[in-house]
Amino acid sequence: MILDYETLKLIWWVLIGVLLIGFAVTDGMDMGSMILMPFLGRTDNERRTMINTIAPHWDGNQVWFITAGGAIFAAWPMVYATAFSGFYMAMLLTLFALFFRPVGFDYRSKLENSRWRNAWDWALFGGSLVPALVFGVAFGNLLQGVPFQFDDLMRPTYVGNFWQLLNPYGLLAGILSIAMLAMHGGTWMMARADQAVAERARVAVILLALVVLVLFALGGLWLWMGEFGFRIESVIDGNAYPNPLNKDVVADGIAWIGNFDRHPSFWIAPMLGLFSALVVALLALARRPALALIMSSLTIAGVITTAGFAMFPFIMPSSLVPSDSLTLWDATSSLLTLKIMFWVAIVMVPIILAYTTWAYVKMWRRISVRDIEENAHALY
């Protein structure tokens, strides 16, 4: 196999995509479950069945998030530096919200007090809703380009503020993200929670899948109208040292949608997103929870990949100085680091998938209200 710099840069774009999809499919599932929890669980025990379906898995799921962060640091240090410091308030808000999940899961049922439990239920709800919203908003803004530039020593400076992120397209993407993860969590509830909860989840999934379908299509049409996009004017040498200042970029409203014309195979992603969202609704209608869970995972993969394909090869376009944009060719770490991290990922990811699957298989069963009553002190 020829692992030259150019190939590795492309591989790392795929791998970061895989990690982000892995995060949305696993951690997104328990975020979605907790977004639905206050609405679908009517009694304390019903809510506990919902929490306990994810009790053995939330921590492992969350590592997809942490590892995606670490992998972006290792493979795209400039993106890690620019995006996280640029979206400072949004990142902090997400972090503060995420604080309430680990403690919420572990502490909620440790006391019998109903006010205590109710407070933690809303903490879990907020701790899941806010990150889902912010991640969507972040993607919505990346598609539009964000205002940053580099100085001579490559120090990034971001000139926007938090409120500017909440523009119409950003909010559309944010709501799509919430609906998508809630739909995904709903299919998990159909498969694993108490029967009464599962039935309510089924109705929610049908509605949410349709919302996802509409919002995703709307997001695509918006791009079609040619509002945002960036195009590289100069010739890119994929094997050159990564230096984002060495290229010419112009804003071009049809660049994103044009990507799909230049690479017709890219159409697979939006088609997958739309088709599988529809199938999720049908499967929920037909009471097929396990298949619905798989199809909603594919919906997530389709939606995230669509955003990645639209921006290809951009990762973080700059609306302030387009030529300072970060792309998968010029924002990466060195050849050696990409190579080492590639081998680590190639060895470790299959092992991780294997034992994660084992953990899910071992714990797979429907948790009923009776199970909660019988194990009130051992379960969450």
Residue 227 and residue 320 in contact, taking contact as beta carbons nearer than 8 Å: no
User: CB of 313: closest distance to other proteins in angstroms?
Assistant: 18
Q: Which residues bind other proteins (CB under 8 A)?
A: 52, 55-60, 62-63, 66-67, 69-71, 73-75, 77-78, 80-85, 88-89, 91-92, 95-96, 98-99, 101-103, 105-107, 110-111, 152-158, 241-243, 333-334, 336-337, 340-341, 344-345, 348-349, 352, 355-356, 359, 362-363, 377-379
Give the C-alpha separation, 144 to 230, whole Å.
Answer: 9
Residue 320 and residue 149 in contact, taking contact as beta carbons nearer than 8 Å: yes
User: CB of 69: closest distance to other proteins in angstroms?
Assistant: 5
User: CB of 362: closest distance to other proteins in angstroms?
Assistant: 5
User: CB of 23: closest distance to other proteins in angstroms?
Assistant: 11
**Residue 69 or 220 having the CB closest to other proteins:** 69
User: CB of 83: closest distance to other proteins in angstroms?
Assistant: 7
**Residue 320 or 379 having the CB closest to other proteins:** 379
**Residue 220 or 339 having the CB closest to other proteins:** 339
User: CB of 183: closest distance to other proteins in angstroms?
Assistant: 24
Amino acid present at 139: F
User: CB of 160: closest distance to other proteins in angstroms?
Assistant: 12
Instruction: Give the per-residue SS3 of the chain.
Output: CCCCHHHHHHHHHHHHHHHHHHHHHHHHHHHHHHHHHHHHCCCHHHHHHHHHHHCCCHHHHHHHHHHHHHHHHHHCHHHHHHHHHHCHHHHHHHHHHHHHHHHHHHHHHHCCCHHHHHHHHHHHHHHHHHHHHHHHHHHHHHHHCECEEECCCCCEEECCCHHHHCCHHHHHHHHHHHHHHHHHHHHHHHHHCCHHHHHHHHHHHHHHHHHHHHHHHHHHHHHHCCCCCEEECCCCCCCCCCCCCCCCEEECCCHHHHHHHHCHHHHHHHHHHHHHHHHHHHHHHCCCHHHHHHHHHHHHHHHHHHHHHHHCCEEECECCCHHHCEECCCCCCCHHHHHHHHHHHHHHHHHHHHHHHHHHHHHCCCCCHHHHHHCCCCCC
Give the C-alpha separation, 104 to 47, whole Å.
Answer: 13
User: CB of 236: closest distance to other proteins in angstroms?
Assistant: 15
**Residue 259 or 333 having the CB closest to other proteins:** 333
**Residue 115 or 362 having the CB closest to other proteins:** 362
User: CB of 227: closest distance to other proteins in angstroms?
Assistant: 28
**Residue 168 or 350 having the CB closest to other proteins:** 350
**Residue 231 or 247 having the CB closest to other proteins:** 247
**Residue 81 or 254 having the CB closest to other proteins:** 81
Q: How far is CA 250 from CA 81, 183, 226, 304, in A?
A: 23, 38, 14, 24
**Residue 264 or 378 having the CB closest to other proteins:** 378
